[in-house]
Structure 1
C-alpha cells in the first residue's frame, strides 16, 4: 500500500507514533534551537513540518536538504508547538532520494509568473497553484464519470482518428504515414491518399459526437470523455489545440430533456468540487483576490466560491435566442454604443452579449435556445418555422458559453438536404445518415469542453494553465 500520504498524516491524532513521510522540500529554515523542513507530496496543498535538533545531522547532509530535494523522513508524530498546523514530525532519520541544486532549481520560494511556469511545465505541478488546479481537475473528472454512471449512461470510446469533420470547420490535424519528401501523386498531380495507411485522408477528431449518436441509437444513453483536436491558429486565453470533451448523447431526449440534463450535470459536478476540494478552492480564491487588488472595483470578478455558488444555487433562466436579441436591443449598453460587436437577429452572439444576459440582466446562469439555422451545425433539428433549430447554449458568468448542444435532426430527408446544402458529400457521412433510415428516434446531446469547466471552477484566466501540458500554436514542448 505504500507510506501514508501527507494529507492523511495531517489528520492523524498525534501520539508519538512512528511515521514515515516522503515528499519534496518546499522550505528549510534553521534557528539556534531547531531545524524546520516543510515537506509536500502533492496529496494536499498543506505541507507537513518536520523538526530536527541542531547538530542532530551532519552539515554535509543538511546541505543537500534544499528546496526541491526529495526526502524520506522517519520520526515521531507529535502535537505541533507552532501555529499553522496541529501536528509535526520529530525527525529521527533523513534519507535523501534526490537533490536539487539551488543554483539550478527554478522553483525557489518566491512568486513566479504564470508565463514563466508555462516554460517549465515539467515542474510547475510542484507549485501550490498548479497542485491545486490538478487536484481539482482530477475531482471534476471523477465527478463526471460518477454522475453519468449513476444516471445509467454508458462510457463510449469514440475514435481519435477519423475521416469525418463533425463541425464542418476544416481545421483539423492530418494523420498520415506518407513520406513527405516523396509523396505519391495521382495522374492529375494531387496527393494520392489511397497509398496512405488508411487508404484515404484521415485526421485527429474534433468531436466524438457523430459516433456518440450511433452509440445512443443502440444503448439509449452514452457519453464520451476524451481528447479532441482543433488546428486553429489561435493564441487566445480560451483556445487549445488539444483539449478534452465531454459529450453525452441520449435517445428519446428532446430539447427540454437536454436542457434539464445539462443544468443538473454542471451543478452536480461543481458541487462535488465544492465539497471535496475546499482547501484548494480557498487557496485559489485568495490567489485571485490578491491578483485583482489593483483592478478598479467595477472590473473585479466575483470571489471564486461566490461565483461557483452563483451557478449551483440558482435555477438557470431559459429563453429563446429571439427573446435574448430583443433584450440586448433594449439594453443600455446597446443604446449607448458600449457593446464592441453589433446586435441584430442572425448574429452569432459574442461573449460580451452572453455575459450581459447572465451577469447584468438575469443575474443567474442562462440557457438560450432556438438559434438561427444559418449559424448552427447541420445536424441540429429544424424548428417548424424553418428559420431556427433546436439548439441550446448554457451561459455562465465570466466566460459566456460553457455548453453547446441540440436536439439532433432524426428525419433522413431533412438531414440529407441540410448536408447537401452546406456542401458536405453525403458519401462521407453515409453511416451517419443511415441511422436515420433504420429505426430513427428523437435524440439529443451536448458538448462541454473539460478545460473550460476546469478554468471556470479554478478561476484561472488562461486555459493553458488548467491542463498539465498545453498544446497551442508553435508549442508542443513537453
Structure 2
C-alpha cells in the first residue's frame, strides 16, 4: 500500500479510507479513552493529528510512542472537529517502527537555542525551523536549475580537485594520497603523490566553466567549493555551494542583467512555492523579512560605478564615521555595502568598474586602463551576494596582466588557448548559495543554513 505524505493528507479534497501515514511523533496527548498523536514526516511544517482509541488492538504500543518515535499509522482520513486543521487520521492499525528513549531524546516540547541545535545536526532537521529551512534550501536549488533551464543554459560539472588557485588568494585545502606519518623526502613528495603534482580542493569552477562556455554558449555550474580561510564569522564556512554561470558573447551589462533577473526570480519562486515555511521565518526569525524581500523584487537594481560609490561613502563618513574609512583603491567593507543599499538608495545596488589593483587577473581591463569590467551585487542585510565580471578575452592583455601579477603563464596555457583559438567576449559571476538562502530566510549564521557545516576547528561526522 502506498504511503500518503502528511502534506498530501492535509491538502486532501475530502475524507479518504485506508490511508497509510508514516512519520515521527512530535507530541502525544492522552485523554479518557483516546490518545492524540501529532505526526510529521518532514514533508511540511504542519503536523497531522492522529486519534487512537485505547480499545484498538495494539494500543499497548502507545506507551512507546513518545516524542521522537517513528510510527506507521493506517486508518480513515476524516474531517476534524478541532480548530486549525481540516482533517485528522482516525487510526485503525498502528506499528511502532523505531522507539525514541524519552529520557535522552534531545528535542523536547520547548524552544531550543540555535547554539544547542548546532551541536546535534543529526537531529535538528526534525525541528520546525530547520525542517522548513532545508525544504526551502531544496526548493531554492530547484528554482536555480529551473531558471537556467528556461534560458537554455547547459548545466555542466567542473572539477572539485584542481591544480590551480582560481582566485590567487592561496586559501586552498591540499589533497594528497601520501601517508602523513611516513612522508617521503621533500624532493620526492610531489612525484610520488597520486597526481604527480600538487592538488587542491577547488575554490571556484569558473575557469573550467569558461572552457565549456566557449564551446556550448551559455553554461552554469552549481556545486561545492572550499576555502581554507581561518575565519569564524557568521558569514564564512570552509565548505559551501557556489553557483557560477558563464555566458559566451556577453558583456558586463548582460552579466548584470542575468544576476538581477536570477535573484528576483529565486525570491519570487520561494515566496510562491514555500509560503508556509517562509512565514515561520517572517514570524520568528526576522519580522521585517517580507519588507526586505519586497525591496528587492519591487523595482530595478541601482547600477553604480565604484568611483561614485566611494564618493558617496566618503561624504557619509564625514558625518557618521564608519568603522573602516572608505578609500579609493580598497575593497568595500560590509558596512559600506549595507549603507549604499539600506540608506543611500534603499534599493539593491550593483557596483561596477572596480580598480584593477583589487581584482583577479582574468577580469577585462577597461579603456581607462585603471579599472576592470567587474561587478558586485549588494543586497540589504547581507551586502555582497554576487561577484562577477566580463572576462579578459584579449590574449596580449591577459598575458600582460598575468605576468604583472607574477603568475606562471605555462600553468595557464590551456586557459590562454581560449584566447588564441576563436576568442569571444564572455562574462560570468559567482553567487554564494548559502548567502542567498540566508537572505531569503533572514537567518544570520551560515552554520544554520548548512545541514552539516564545516568551519575552523569544527568537523562533525
TM-score (norm 1): 0.94
Inter-partner Cα distance in structure 1 for 2:142 and 2:439: 17
Inter-partner Cα distance in structure 2 for 1:413 and 1:435: 12
Alignment counterpart, residue 257 of structure 2, candidates 255, 260, 270: 260
The DSSP-based 3-state class of the residue aligned with 1:44 is: coil
Structure 1 position 184, deviation (Å): 2.3
User: What is aligned with 2:203?
Assistant: 206
Structure 1 position 260, deviation (Å): 0.6
Gaps of 5+ in 1: 290-301
Say whether residues 1:309 and 2:294 are aligned partners: yes
Structure 1 position 59, deviation (Å): 6.6
Inter-partner Cα distance in structure 2 for 1:138 and 1:382: 38
Structure 1 position 81, deviation (Å): 1.0
User: What is aligned with 1:410?
Assistant: 393
- Kindly tell me the number of residue pairs found equivalent between the two proteins: 461
Structure 1 position 34, deviation (Å): 3.0
Q: 1:285-434 counterparts in 2 under 5 A?
A: 285-289=282-286, 303-331=288-316, 334-434=317-417
Asked if the contact 1:314/1:365 (under 8 Å) is kept, the reply is no
Structure 1 position 47, deviation (Å): 0.4
Alignment counterpart, residue 192 of structure 2, candidates 192, 195, 210: 195
The DSSP-based 3-state class of the residue aligned with 1:427 is: coil
Q: Deviations over 1:316-369 (max 9, x none)?
A: 0001001111111222xx123431001121121001100011011111100000
Asked if the contact 1:166/1:210 (under 8 Å) is kept, the reply is yes
Alignment counterpart, residue 239 of structure 1, candidates 226, 236, 240: 236
User: What is aligned with 1:293?
Assistant: none
Q: Deviations over 1:99-144 (max 9, x none)?
A: 0011011111111111111111011110101100100001110011
Inter-partner Cα distance in structure 2 for 1:323 and 1:198: 48
Asked if the contact 1:171/1:231 (under 8 Å) is kept, the reply is yes
Inter-partner Cα distance in structure 1 for 2:156 and 2:263: 20
Say whether residues 1:168 and 2:165 are aligned partners: no
Say whether residues 1:281 and 2:272 are aligned partners: no
Asked if the contact 2:50/2:90 (under 8 Å) is kept, the reply is yes
User: What is aligned with 1:130?
Assistant: 130
Inter-partner Cα distance in structure 2 for 1:463 and 1:326: 32
Q: Deviations over 1:375-401 (max 9, x none)?
A: 111100001111110000000000000
User: What is aligned with 2:47?
Assistant: 47
The DSSP-based 3-state class of the residue aligned with 2:419 is: coil
Asked if the contact 1:281/1:305 (under 8 Å) is kept, the reply is no
Asked if the contact 1:223/1:247 (under 8 Å) is kept, the reply is yes
Asked if the contact 2:53/2:59 (under 8 Å) is kept, the reply is no
Inter-partner Cα distance in structure 1 for 2:350 and 2:373: 12
The DSSP-based 3-state class of the residue aligned with 2:362 is: coil
Asked if the contact 1:410/1:442 (under 8 Å) is kept, the reply is yes
Structure 1 position 16, deviation (Å): 5.1
User: What is aligned with 2:7?
Assistant: 7
The DSSP-based 3-state class of the residue aligned with 2:420 is: coil
- Of 45-54 and 176-185, more deviation after overlay is shown by 176-185
The DSSP-based 3-state class of the residue aligned with 2:265 is: helix
User: What is aligned with 2:435?
Assistant: 452
User: What is aligned with 1:470?
Assistant: 453
The DSSP-based 3-state class of the residue aligned with 2:329 is: coil
Structure 1 position 459, deviation (Å): 1.0
Inter-partner Cα distance in structure 1 for 2:34 and 2:315: 68
Inter-partner Cα distance in structure 1 for 2:395 and 2:195: 28
Inter-partner Cα distance in structure 2 for 1:33 and 1:395: 59
Inter-partner Cα distance in structure 2 for 1:274 and 1:247: 23
Q: Deviations over 1:124-170 (max 9, x none)?
A: 11010110010000111001111111101101100000001000011
User: Does the C-alpha gap of structure 1 residues 59 and 88 become closer, same or farther in structure 2, counting only changes over 3 Å?
Assistant: closer
TM-score (norm 2): 0.98
Asked if the contact 2:27/2:67 (under 8 Å) is kept, the reply is yes
Asked if the contact 1:183/1:191 (under 8 Å) is kept, the reply is no
Inter-partner Cα distance in structure 2 for 1:196 and 1:422: 28
User: What is aligned with 1:296?
Assistant: none
